[in-house]
Structures are given as structure tokens and as C-alpha cells.
């Protein structure tokens, strides 16, 4: 079962194609309403009217508004990632960069939804379920590479995978906030994200891992030839994926 489908299955005692389809419709409508009104303006009543379900159905299936919204965010990002092909191994630096490139166009197309998710991340009152959901997509992008850095001894002494990943997540959300505000153009958005990622990663790593990161950072701040090489194949499947150096 794909991750997106497993999300549809959460909290179910039994399931059927009809129940799955109803849940998919509810989560899709929830995402649309979040994009229109943000989390604070999201209304269960409006959801029920648009999805043609009773309020008790919502609360029985999803327990709470917070749980419903968090599942909607997770389902959206999981469905997107599972619909994509990737050229590079997700454990490599190139794989992490490729995931950010592939997600970039999607973020442009879903700007209002991204604005709502960014607002949740920076909220002082959002519950843990919502905060986890807001970070899910970026965590999935960074964790495989970060774990590989640790396994190869490329993280600095005292730098944990958790600290590395959550620090980068915070930086990427800060860049995304600036983009949501219009302070960063669409064209420069991906480069600002990669600059934040590579700059932090350079200071958090050592040895061959850092040398590779510095190579890509220098390229990013210069002619961007390595970036263009990754962009040229981003989103294309490859059976024999390159292995990390």
C-alpha cells in the first residue's frame, strides 16, 4: 500500500473502495478550503456542504479539525511525491537537490496552499499533529541524505541527524515565508532554498561530504552548471541510479 493510501486507512476499523473514495474527497476538499481560507478560516460546516457529508461523519472518521487538516496536508504531499519519478538516489546530495527542484514547480502551482502550510509552521498555537504535517514533505526530502551523511561519518562531531534536519527545515521554511510575502521572486526561489541548504550543510559536515557540498555551493553562487545538470534530468526515472561518493 502506498503511503498516501495508508493515510486514507488511518483510524478505520474496516474499509472499502466507497469509504476510501469518500475519505479522498473529504481530504481533497479540505485542502482546497485551506488554500482558500487558511487554517484559521477553515470551517467544518463549509467542508460538509461542499463534500456533501454530515458533521458526525467528519468527527467519527477524523476525530477533530486538527487531525483532519493534518491528514489532508500529509495526504496531499504524499500523493504528489508518489506521482513523481526521480533520477538520483534519495540518499545523495544530488537526490536532495533534485527533490527540491521537482517540488519547486509544484509549490508555484499551489501557492495559496503553501502559504497556509507555512502559516501553520510558524503558528504559536498549532498542535503537534499540524506541525508534524507541515514539516512532513521537507523531512522526507532531507532525512535519507542526512542519515547517509552520518553513516559515512560526514557529519561533524556532535551534530546529530535530528539537529541537522530540523535546522535545515527551519531555514527552508524561512525562505518559503519570504517567497509567500513576495520578497523572493519565483525564479530565485529555488536558488535561495538551495543556498540555505548548502550553506548550513557546509558548516555541519566534514571530510568528503563537506567537499562535495562546497563544490555545489560554489557552483550555485557562480555559473550554476551543476545545478543545470541536475535540473536537466530532474523528475526522470533511472533504473541504475548513481551511488553516493
Letter string b/e over residues 117-153, b meaning 16 or more CB atoms within 10 A of that residue's CB: bbbbbeeeebeebbeebbbbbbeebbbbbbebbeeee
Check residues 168 and 63 and name the one with the higher pLDDT: 168
Q: Which tens digits make up the pLDDT trace of 26-44?
A: 999 999 999 999 999 999 9
Measured CA to CA, the distance from residue 206 to residue 164 in angstroms comes to 13
Q: Can you give the pLDDT at residue 164?
A: 98
pLDDT band at residue 9 under the 50/70/90 scheme? low
| Residue 148 near residue 155 (C-beta atoms within 8 A) | no
Share of the chain above pLDDT 90, in %: 73
Domain positions in the chain: 3-79, 85-233
Which one is predicted more confidently, 13 or 133?
133
pLDDT for residue 235 is more than 90: no
Q: Which residues contact 203 (CB under 8 A, 6 or more apart)?
A: 156
Residue 14 has pLDDT above 90, yes or no: no
Beta-carbon contacts of 107 under 8 Å, excluding residues fewer than 6 positions away, are 114, 176, 189
Q: Which of 44-58, 78-92, 99-113, 151-165 has the highest mean pLDDT?
A: 151-165
d(CA 201, CA 168): 8
The DSSP 8-state label assigned to residue 185 in this structure reads -
Give the chain's count of helices (H) and strands (E): 12, 0
pLDDT at 243 (0 to 100): 47
**Which pLDDT belongs to residue 22?**
84
pLDDT at 143 over 60: yes
pLDDT at 245 exceeding the cut of 50: no
Which residues, listed in sequence order, are joined to residue 205 by a DSSP beta bridge?
A: 155
The CATH fold of domain 85-233:
Tetracycline Repressor; domain 2 (1.10.357)
Q: What local confidence, expressed as pLDDT, does residue 6 receive? A: 57
Average pLDDT estimate for 212-230: 97
Q: Write out the CATH class of domain 3-79.
A: mainly alpha
Q: What is the largest CA-CA distance in the chain?
A: 58
pLDDT tens profile 76-95: 998 888 888 899 999 999 99
Amino acid at each position: 500500500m502506498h503511503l498516501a493510501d495508508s493515510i486514507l486507512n488511518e483510524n478505520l476499523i474496516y474499509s472499502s473502495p466507497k469509504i476510501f473514495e469518500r475519505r479522498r474527497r473529504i481530504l481533497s476538499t479540505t485542502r482546497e478550503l485551506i488554500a482558500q481560507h487558511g487554517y484559521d478560516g477553515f470551517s467544518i460546516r463549509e467542508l460538509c456542504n461542499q463534500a456533501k457529508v454530515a458533521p458526525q461523519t467528519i468527527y467519527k472518521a477524523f476525530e477533530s479539525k486538527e487531525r483532519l487538516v493534518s491528514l489532508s496536508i500529509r495526504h496531499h504531499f504524499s500523493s504528489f511525491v508518489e506521482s513523481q519519478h526521480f533520477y538520483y538516489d534519495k540518499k545523495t546530495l544530488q537526490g536532495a537537490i533534485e527533490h527540491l527542484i521537482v517540488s519547486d514547480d509544484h509549490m508555484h502551482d499551489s501557492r495559496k496552499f503553501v502559504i497556509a502550510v507555512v502559516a501553520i509552521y510558524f503558528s504559536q498555537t498549532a498542535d503537534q499533529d499540524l506541525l508534524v504535517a507541515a514539516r512532513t514533505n521537507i523531512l522526507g526530502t532531507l532525512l535519507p541524505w542526512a542519515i547517509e551523511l552520518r553513516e559515512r561519518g560526514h557529519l561533524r562531531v556532535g551534530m546529530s541527524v535530528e539537529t541537522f534536519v530540523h535546522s535545515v527545515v527551519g531555514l527552508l521554511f524561512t525562505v518559503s515565508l519570504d517567497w509567500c510575502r513576495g520578497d523572493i521572486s519565483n525564479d530565485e526561489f529555488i536558488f535561495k532554498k538551495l543556498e540555505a541548504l548548502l550553506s548550513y550543510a557546509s558548516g555541519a559536515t566534514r571530510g568528503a561530504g563537506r567537499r562535495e557540498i562546497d563544490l555545489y555551493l560554489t557552483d550555485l553562487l557562480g555559473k550554476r552548471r551543476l545545478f543545470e545538470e541536475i535540473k536537466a534530468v530532474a523528475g526522470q526515472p533511472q533504473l541504475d541510479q548513481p551511488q553516493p561518493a
